[in-house]
């Protein structure tokens, strides 16, 4: 009994506090260890805006648009200046993103934009709408303070060490975009992990409809004189694609845009882009095109915008 | 005075840990204001302590949340709402149930300010009408209180954050209607509700204990049960006490026990909101409960256990899905293969680990239910230093902000 007592005391007085201290140190490490180079990407996009002499069209949205749509190709195709202002994780919340657009493009610049393409995966992911509402992250993906929970677990880093010891401190850093704001594939190696291919759809009509209404309202306030294109992005799900759910989701989105147009007397164009096929058209996620995939998706978009 | 102090601690903690300051402030203040309003209203109309007025007030208070859900002011409580839709009515179901209990059970003609501060404590508005049963035991030293109650806090955090939160990533399974997906989702969702709600209750039990206030254990290892009756004795005990006082005892005085049980389950169903699936759930569970009583009387071996499993999983399947057409489709039990397993396997590793941990914890509760440390049904098996060390080490390794950590019974 005496032996058990001392083991218990040792665990209680030394092991548990050491674990707690270790955890606090890890939280600090996690706080200062941002992985995706968001700040560099945002700064470059702002620089592109300041350097542009007149902007005719903008691409807005999340990483799907960053990877898979090309402002450069649209500029060449239309002979008008396009910029890609999409951000990774679409700025982590809608509020962050609209504030970014509002602050980086002044009112005069926005009023001269004639075409806006908005491509978001938010309504395609289960619970993503409410996740973005709840998000505590800023535009860069940082927390406002050292929280009680890390963004990645210690287990995640241990797994990294197990796979490759050198990966532990290596950041998965996305390269800076080009002068149009497009993703620079020449400095990035595409590699798809099987675990990221998870088919999802948000089929909650009310949630989706409210979200579409909110996003389009914001777009109309920001770009009052533009043609708005609400784009459902291309994706690659291979065998796990559920066509039935895809059709249900598309119908909800199409009806939501139609309803918005009706009650606001507007004409927002709804575009559904085809799925990526074959898999070589995607990079590191079902919504991120490869270099070839971006050409294909941008041409598909141009074709649909003309129709 | 001490309840004002505890209320203030609850309010400050709630505000510190919430992301939307204005909304959270409303969620903290409005229960207090509503409780004061209810206190004045009840005290004015019940000056002479007339029985009929007391009963009307109590049942009106209890079903207030049914009415608000019927008219669309609050959502129904399936357990999957991660955010309260109406901050003004935050915690309504719990403080009205608590006040209803006080109006009917205390035989006092008036509610007082202590009742208001107890029932509107922001800490307690996510764990049920547990505030009714607070007792003071500050006579014990802080050191002794810490040594006894801190382990509950650790177990609670492990349940709530390490097991429950990553399971929210599996919720998309609710959309599939084939039998395998439906049963799989029901089982995972049951595990989520248990670990989330029980975890939060244990955290609050631990914090209040350290502060010198003892509240009852809201969960008493329900999965250590061998039949449905035992299961309900260990599940959300504070609400069970309220239901017993408000419904079972009055109904039993005039009707058979079967009618009283049906009344209790229907009342419980409506308390979760006005929806068809809740009513089906109430009738289903009442029927299973009554059948269990008869089976136990006839001493048929294993059947109570089988009924328990069927009732828990099928009950959760019905309870969790408020979309009637989808629920009906699920209840046809159509078989389309094992695609759900594939979906599950393709989920994030963290969710799979949480699922495994959750089922291990439940298995320990169930298979070792007669052993010395488990049979007391107060999580003693998880509170020994070596188990705590394992829980903390596992928790530290797996903790991340993956998934949603919302109070399953706190949001509508």
Same domain, B160 and B244: yes
Q: Could you tell me if residue B407 is inside a domain?
A: no
Q: Answer whether residue A292 shows pLDDT above 80.
A: yes
Same domain, B319 and B354: yes
Total tally of structural domains belonging to chain B: 2
Q: Could you tell me if residue B403 is inside a domain?
A: no
Instruction: Place A176 in a pLDDT band, splitting at 50, 70 and 90.
Output: very high
Number of alpha helices (DSSP H) and beta strands (DSSP E) in chain A = 12, 7
**Residue of B384, B385, B398 with shortest CB distance to A153:** B398
pLDDT in tens, B62-101: 999 999 999 988 888 888 776 677 888 888 998 999 999 9
The pairs formed by A290-295 with CB atoms below 8 angstroms and a separation of 24 or more are: A290/A185, A290/A190, A291/A185, A293/A68, A293/A234, A294/A67, A294/A68, A294/A69, A294/A70, A294/A73, A294/A182, A294/A183, A294/A185, A295/A70, A295/A73
Cβ-proximal residues to A255 (8 Å cutoff; 6+ apart), any chain: A209
B389 chain-A contacts, CB cut-off 8 A: 11, 15-16, 19
DSSP string, B282-332: HHHHHHHHHHHHHHHHTT-SSHHHHHHHHHHHHHHHHHH---HHHHHHHTT
The whole-angstrom separation of Cα B73 and Cα B89 is: 8
Does residue A18 belong to the interface with chain B, where contact is any CB pair within 8 Å? Answer: no
Is residue B74 within 8 A of residue B86, CB to CB? The reply is yes
Does residue B404 belong to the interface with chain A, where contact is any CB pair within 8 Å? Answer: yes
pLDDT of residue A1: 46
Question: In A57-92, which positions are buried (b, 16+ CB within 10 angstroms) versus exposed (e)?
Answer: bbbbbbbbbbbbbbbbbbbebbeebbbbbbbbbbbb
CB contact under 8 A, A153 and B385: no
Helix residue ranges, H only, B236-275 = 237-243, 249-254, 257-271
Pairing between β-strand A227-232 and β-strand A115-119 as defined by DSSP bridges: parallel
B396 chain-A contacts, CB cut-off 8 A: 19, 22-23, 26, 154
pLDDT of residue B112: 87
**Residue of A23, A153, A203 with shortest CB distance to B175:** A203
Percent of chain B with pLDDT over 70: 97
Q: How close, in Å, is residue B296 to chain A by CA atoms? A: 42
Cβ-proximal residues to B383 (8 Å cutoff; 6+ apart), any chain: B151, B152, B155
Nearest CA in chain A to B353: A155
Which contiguous run of DSSP H or E holds residue B61?
helix B51-62
Q: How close, in Å, is residue B52 to chain A by CA atoms? A: 42
CB contact under 8 A, B388 and A197: no
3-state secondary structure of A22: helix
> In the numeric block, which tokens belong to residue A27?
């939280």
Contacts with B, A 215-254, CB within 8 Å? 240, 245
Separation in Å, CA B303 to CA B300, B321, B338? 6, 27, 28
Cβ-proximal residues to B183 (8 Å cutoff; 6+ apart), any chain: B313, B317
pLDDT in tens, A127-150: 889 888 878 788 888 776 666 788
Give the angle B12-B212-B148 at the CA atoms, nearest 5°: 110
Same domain, B86 and B146: no
The whole-angstrom separation of Cα A161 and Cα A192 is: 20
Same domain, B132 and B163: no
B385 chain-A contacts, CB cut-off 8 A: 7-8, 11-12, 16
- How many CA atoms are closer than 13 Å to the CA of B337, on its beta-carbon side? 3
Q: Answer whether residue B149 shows pLDDT above 90.
A: yes
Does residue B5 belong to the interface with chain A, where contact is any CB pair within 8 Å? Answer: no
Is residue B122 within 8 A of residue B31, CB to CB? The reply is yes
Residue with tokens 């009342």: B267
A197 chain-B contacts, CB cut-off 8 A: 346
**Residue of B83, B349, B393 with shortest CB distance to A133:** B83
> What are the φ and ψ backbone dihedral angles of A189, each rounded to 5 degrees?
-100, 120
pLDDT of residue B405: 80
Q: How close, in Å, is residue B58 to chain A by CA atoms? A: 35
Same domain, B186 and B284: yes
Interhelix angle B92-105/B51-62, nearest 10 degrees: 160
The whole-angstrom separation of Cα B188 and Cα B356 is: 10
Mean pLDDT of B144-155: 94
Which of the listed CATH numbers 2.30.30.100, 3.50.50.60, 3.40.50.1110, 3.30.70.580 matches domain A34-142+171-306? 3.40.50.1110
Does residue B400 belong to the interface with chain A, where contact is any CB pair within 8 Å? Answer: yes
Mean pLDDT of B28-39: 92
Nearest CA in chain B to A150: B400
> What are the φ and ψ backbone dihedral angles of A289, each rounded to 5 degrees?
-75, 155
Mean pLDDT of B299-315: 95
The whole-angstrom separation of Cα B62 and Cα A210 is: 32
Number of alpha helices (DSSP H) and beta strands (DSSP E) in chain B = 19, 2
Mean predicted lDDT score pLDDT of chain B: 90
Q: Which of residues A142 and A170 earns the better pLDDT score? A: A142
pLDDT of residue B13: 83
By CB neighbour count within 10 A (0-12 exposed, 13-18 middle, 19+ buried), where does B260 fall?
buried
CB contact under 8 A, A19 and B346: no
Is residue A219 within 8 A of residue A285, CB to CB? The reply is no
Q: Could you tell me if residue B405 is inside a domain?
A: no
Mean pLDDT of B22-27: 86
Q: How close, in Å, is residue B282 to chain A by CA atoms? A: 26
Same domain, B268 and B169: yes
Q: Answer whether residue A214 shows pLDDT above 70.
A: yes
Beta-bridged to residue B136, according to DSSP, are: B213
Question: In B62-87, which positions are buried (b, 16+ CB within 10 angstroms) versus exposed (e)?
Answer: bbbbbebbeeeebbbbbbbbbebebb
- Of the candidates B101, B151, B93, the residue with the CA atom closest to the CA atom of residue B124: B93
Percent of chain A with pLDDT over 70: 92
Same domain, B76 and B40: yes
Question: In A185-202, which positions are buried (b, 16+ CB within 10 angstroms) versus exposed (e)?
Answer: beebebebeeeebbbbbb
> In the numeric block, which tokens belong to residue B115?
């009742």
Cβ-proximal residues to A215 (8 Å cutoff; 6+ apart), any chain: A94, A118, A120, A230
Same domain, B201 and B328: yes
Cβ-proximal residues to B318 (8 Å cutoff; 6+ apart), any chain: B277, B280, B281, B284, B327, B331
For chain B, the first-to-last Cα distance in angstroms comes to: 31
pLDDT in tens, A44-82: 999 999 998 889 999 999 999 999 999 999 999 999 999
A152 chain-B contacts, CB cut-off 8 A: 400
The whole-angstrom separation of Cα A128 and Cα B279 is: 30
Residue with tokens 């990877």: A67
Nearest CA in chain A to B170: A126
pLDDT of residue A120: 96
> In the numeric block, which tokens belong to residue A205?
């009509």
Give the angle B112-B114-B117 at the CA atoms, nearest 5°: 115
Domain range for B116 is 2-136
Is residue A201 within 8 A of residue A246, CB to CB? The reply is yes
pLDDT of residue B248: 96
> What are the φ and ψ backbone dihedral angles of A183, each rounded to 5 degrees?
-65, 140
CB contact under 8 A, A153 and B172: no
Contacts with B, A 176-205, CB within 8 Å? 194-195, 197-198, 200-201, 203
CB contact under 8 A, B393 and A19: yes
CB atoms < 10 A from the CB of A21, how many? 10
Q: Which of B101, B136, B171 is the last residue of a domain?
A: B136
Same domain, B159 and B111: no
- Of the candidates B356, B396, B12, B113, the residue with the CA atom closest to the CA atom of residue A18: B396
For chain A, what percentages of helix, strand and coil (3-state, to nearest 5) are there? 55, 10, 35
Q: Answer whether residue B19 shows pLDDT above 80.
A: no
Q: Which of B86, B115, B136 is the last residue of a domain?
A: B136
pLDDT of residue A139: 87
The whole-angstrom separation of Cα A88 and Cα A86 is: 7
Same domain, B309 and B289: yes
CB contact under 8 A, B348 and A23: no
Under 8 Å CB pairs connecting chains A and B tally to 84
Percent of chain A with pLDDT over 90: 59
CB contact under 8 A, B398 and A150: no
The whole-angstrom separation of Cα A178 and Cα B180 is: 49
Same domain, B371 and B230: yes
Same domain, B105 and B154: no
pLDDT of residue B233: 95
């Amino acid at each position: 009994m005496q032996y058990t007592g001392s083991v218990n005391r040792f665990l209680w007085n030394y092991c548990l506090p050491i674990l707690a201290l270790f955890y606090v140190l890890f939280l600090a490490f996690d706080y200062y260890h941002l992985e995706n180079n968001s700040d560099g990407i945002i700064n470059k996009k702002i620089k592109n805006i300041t350097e542009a002499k007149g902007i005719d069209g903008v691409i807005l949205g999340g990483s799907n648009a960053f990877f898979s749509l090309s402002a450069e190709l649209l500029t060449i195709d239309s002979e008008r200046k396009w910029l890609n202002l999409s951000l990774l994780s679409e700025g982590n919340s809608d509020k962050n993103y609209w504030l970014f657009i509002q602050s980086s493009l002044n009112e005069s610049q926005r009023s001269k934009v004639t075409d806006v393409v908005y491509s978001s995966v938010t309504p395609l992911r289960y619970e993503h709408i409410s996740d973005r509402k709840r998000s505590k992250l800023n535009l860069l993906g940082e927390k406002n303070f050292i929280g009680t929970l890390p963004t990645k677990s210690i287990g995640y880093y241990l797994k990294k060490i197990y796979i490759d010891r050198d990966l532990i401190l290596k950041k998965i850093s996305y390269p800076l975009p080009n002068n149009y704001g497009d993703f620079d594939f020449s400095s990035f190696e595409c590699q798809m992990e099987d675990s990221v291919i998870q088919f999802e759809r948000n089929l909650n009509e009310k949630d989706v409809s409210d979200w579409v209404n909110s996003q389009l309202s914001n777009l109309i306030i920001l770009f009052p004189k533009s043609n708005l294109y609400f784009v459902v992005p291309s994706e690659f799900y291979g065998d796990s694609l559920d066509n039935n759910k895809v059709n249900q989701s598309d119908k909800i989105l199409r009806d939501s845009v139609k309803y918005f147009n009706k009650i606001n007397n507007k004409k927002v164009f709804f575009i559904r882009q085809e799925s990526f096929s074959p898999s070589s058209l995607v990079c590191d996620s079902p919504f991120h095109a490869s270099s070839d995939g971006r050409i294909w998706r941008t041409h598909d978009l141009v074709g649909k915008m003309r129709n | 005075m001490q309840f004002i102090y505890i209320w203030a601690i609850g309010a400050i903690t709630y505000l510190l840990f919430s992301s939307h300051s204005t909304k959270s402030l409303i969620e903290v203040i409005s229960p207090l204001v509503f409780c004061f309003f209810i206190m004045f209203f009840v005290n004015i109309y019940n000056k002479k302590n007339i029985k009929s007025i007391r009963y009307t007030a109590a049942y009106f208070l209890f079903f207030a949340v049914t009415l608000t859900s019927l008219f669309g002011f609050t959502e129904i409580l399936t357990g999957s709402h991660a955010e309260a839709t109406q901050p003004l009515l935050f915690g309504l179901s719990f403080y009205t149930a608590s006040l209803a209990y006080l109006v009917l059970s205390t035989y006092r003609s008036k509610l007082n300010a202590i009742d208001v501060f107890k029932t509107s404590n922001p800490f307690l508005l996510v764990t049920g009408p547990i505030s009714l049963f607070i007792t003071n035991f500050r006579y014990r030293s802080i050191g002794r209180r810490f040594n006894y109650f801190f382990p509950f806090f650790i177990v609670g955090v492990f349940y709530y954050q390490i097991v429950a939160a990553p399971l929210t990533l599996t919720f998309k399974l609710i959309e599939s209607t084939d039998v395998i997906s439906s049963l799989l989702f029901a089982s995972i969702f049951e595990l989520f509700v248990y670990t989330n709600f029980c975890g939060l209750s244990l955290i609050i039990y631990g914090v209040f204990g350290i502060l010198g206030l003892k509240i009852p254990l809201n969960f008493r290892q329900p999965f250590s049960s061998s039949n449905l009756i035992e299961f309900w004795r260990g599940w959300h005990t504070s609400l069970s006490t309220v239901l017993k006082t408000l419904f079972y005892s009055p109904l039993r005085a005039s009707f058979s026990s079967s009618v009283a049980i049906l009344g209790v389950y229907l009342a419980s169903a409506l308390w979760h909101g006005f929806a068809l699936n809740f009513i089906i759930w109430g009738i289903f569970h009442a029927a299973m409960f009554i059948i269990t009583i008869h089976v136990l009387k006839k001493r048929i071996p294993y059947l109570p256990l089988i009924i328990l499993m069927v009732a828990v999983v099928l009950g959760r399947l019905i309870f969790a899905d408020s979309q009637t057409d989808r629920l009906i489709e699920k209840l046809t039990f159509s078989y389309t293969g094992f695609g759900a397993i594939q979906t599950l396997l393709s989920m994030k590793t963290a969710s799979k680990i949480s699922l495994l941990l959750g089922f291990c914890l439940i298995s320990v509760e169930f298979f070792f239910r007669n052993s010395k440390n488990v049979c007391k049904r107060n999580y003693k098996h998880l509170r020994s230093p070596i188990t705590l060390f394992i829980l903390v080490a596992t928790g530290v390794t797996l903790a991340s902000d993956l998934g949603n950590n919302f109070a399953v019974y706190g949001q509508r």
